[in-house]
C-alpha cells in the first residue's frame, strides 16, 4: 500500500535541540598533534533541524523539546524567528545538549554527542491537548535511544495513532541503533506511517544488503519505508516491494550535517501538498541537496 494519508493540521516534531560545534578539518586528523580547522558554533539537533527546514519550506510546525533552563527564552525566540512554534521545557540541572561535528574534507561528518537536557524530556512537559490541530507527528530516532525520552516517544506515538494522526520516525543514527539493538527499535517503531532510514540503517534494520531484500524484510514494519541513498537518490518501500525510486545527482558536498533532516522536510512538504510519490521523493532529494551545500544543519537565513 503506497498511498499515504492526508496531513490535516500542523506538524509536531519531537526531538533534540543542540548546540553544534562545527569543526571543518583542512586535512586528516594528526593523532597526538595538530591539524588546521575552521570552527564555529551553530544551532543544531535533529528535531530542531527538521522543524527549521519544515518552517523554511512553509509548513506550520511546532517543536517539542527540552533545553537548559537558562536557554528556554533565547532559544524559544530563535526558533520563533525561524517560523517554529516552540514547546520548550527548561531543565534546572542539565544544560542544553552539545555536539561536536567533525567535518572531513569530502563533507562527510562524525559526531561526538552530549545530549544534556534532551535526556530528561518528560511527557509531563507536553500540553495535554497537543493532538488538537495536529496533522502529523515527526519523532526523531534519537528520542528512542534513552529510557526517559523513549517513554515520551512511545506515548506520543500511541496517542497520535489513537486519533489516526500519521506518525513519522527517522532512524537517525547507525551508531545508536547498534547500541540499543535492532529488535527493540523495530518493536518501538512498528506501525508508524513512514520510517526514514539511510542505506546503512536500512541494511542494519533489515539484516539484508540489497534493496529488494530490504523491502521484503521491512514489510509490515511501517506503511512505507523511505531509504535514502545519498548521491544516488532515494527509494520508497511498501508492502514488501519498491514502489517508487528517484535518482539525483552527486554534489561536492560542503557539509552533510542535517541533510537527512532536510530530506525529511522536503518529503513532508510534498506529501502535504498531495504530490505523487515520485514527485515527493524528487522534492526530498532537492531539499537534501540544498542542505549539503551549506555549513550546519539548518536552512539558510
215-268: per-residue pLDDT in tens? 899 888 899 999 999 888 999 999 999 999 998 877 677 767 788 999 999 999
Specify the CATH superfamily of domain 10-17+44-95+116-291. Ribokinase (3.40.1190.20)
Average pLDDT, the chain: 92
Cell numbers for 158, please give them.
500511541
* Euclidean distance between CA atoms 219 and 278, whole angstroms: 20
Domain boundary assignment for the chain: 10-17+44-95+116-291
Q: Assess whether pLDDT exceeds 80 at residue 120.
A: yes
Q: Assess whether pLDDT exceeds 80 at residue 122.
A: yes
Which residues contact residue 60 at a Cβ distance below 8 angstroms, ignoring those fewer than 6 apart?
A: 9, 10, 11, 85
pLDDT value of position 182: 93
b/e per residue, 31-54, with b = 16+ CB within 10 A?
eeeeeeeeeeebbbbbbbbbbbbb
- Band of pLDDT at residue 3, cut at 50, 70 and 90: confident
Distance in angstroms between the alpha carbons of the first and the last residue of the chain: 38
* Average pLDDT, integer, range 67-73: 97
**Number of CB atoms found within 10 A of residue 92's CB:** 9
Q: Assess whether pLDDT exceeds 60 at residue 109.
A: yes
pLDDT value of position 248: 80
Amino acid at each position: 500500500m503506497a498511498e499515504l494519508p492526508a496531513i490535516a493540521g500542523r506538524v509536531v516534531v519531537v526531538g533534540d535541540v543542540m548546540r553544534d560545534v562545527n569543526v571543518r578539518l583542512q586535512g586528516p586528523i594528526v593523532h597526538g598533534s595538530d591539524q588546521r580547522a575552521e570552527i564555529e558554533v551553530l544551532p543544531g539537533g535533529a528535531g530542531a533541524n527538521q522543524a527549521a527546514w519544515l518552517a523554511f519550506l512553509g509548513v506550520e510546525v511546532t517543536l517539542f523539546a527540552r533545553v537548559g533552563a537558562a536557554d528556554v527564552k533565547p532559544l524559544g525566540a530563535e526558533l520563533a524567528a525561524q517560523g517554529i512554534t516552540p514547546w520548550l521545557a527548561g531543565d534546572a540541572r542539565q544544560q542544553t545538549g552539545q555536539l561536536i561535528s567533525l567535518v572531513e574534507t569530502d563533507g562527510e561528518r562524525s559526531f561526538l554527542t552530549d545530549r544534556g537536557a534532551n535526556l530528561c524530556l518528560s511527557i509531563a512537559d507536553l500540553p495535554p491537548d497537543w493532538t488538537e490541530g495536529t496533522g502529523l507527528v515527526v519523532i526523531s530516532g534519537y528520542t528512542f535511544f534513552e529510557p526517559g525520552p523513549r517513554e515520551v516517544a512511545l506515548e506520543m506515538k500511541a496517542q497520535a495513532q489513537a486519533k489516526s494522526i500519521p506518525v513519522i520516525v527517522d532512524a537517525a543514527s547507525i551508531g545508536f541503533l547498534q547500541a540499543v539493538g535492532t529488535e527493540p527499535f523495530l518493536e518501538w517503531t512498528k506501525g508508524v506511517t513512514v520510517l526514514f532510514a539511510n542505506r546503512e540503517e536500512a541494511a542494519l534494520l533489515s539484516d539484508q544488503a540489497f534493496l529488494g531484500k530490504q523491502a521484503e524484510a521491512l514489510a509490515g514494519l511501517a506503511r512505507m519505508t523511505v531509504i535514502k541513498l545519498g548521491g544516488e537518490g532515494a527509494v520508497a518501500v511498501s508492502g514488501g516491494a519498491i514502489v517508487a525510486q528517484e535518482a539525483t545527482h552527486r554534489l561536492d558536498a560542503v557539509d552533510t550535517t542535517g541533510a537527512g533532516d532536510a530530506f525529511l522536510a522536503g518529503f513532508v512538504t510534498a506529501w502535504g501538498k498531495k504530490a505523487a510519490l515520485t514527485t515527493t521523493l524528487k522534492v526530498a532529494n532537492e531539499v537534501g541537496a540544498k542542505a549539503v551545500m551549506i555549513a550546519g544543519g539548518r536552512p539558510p537565513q
